[in-house]
Amino acid sequence: MSGDPSKMDCVEFQAQMPDLVASGEDAGAHPHLQGCARCSALLSDLTTIAEAARQLFPSVEPPDEVWEHIELALKREK
The percent of residues in the chain predicted with pLDDT above 70, rounded, is: 94
Model pTM score: 0.61
Return the domain boundaries, the chain. 5-77
Q: So what's the pLDDT on residue 62? A: 85
Q: So what's the pLDDT on residue 1? A: 47
- pLDDT tens across 9-37, in order? 999 999 988 888 878 788 889 999 999 99
Distances (CA, A) of 54 to 7, 8, 10, 45, 47: 33, 30, 27, 14, 11
- Dihedral Cα 37, 43, 47, 53, nearest 10 deg: 120
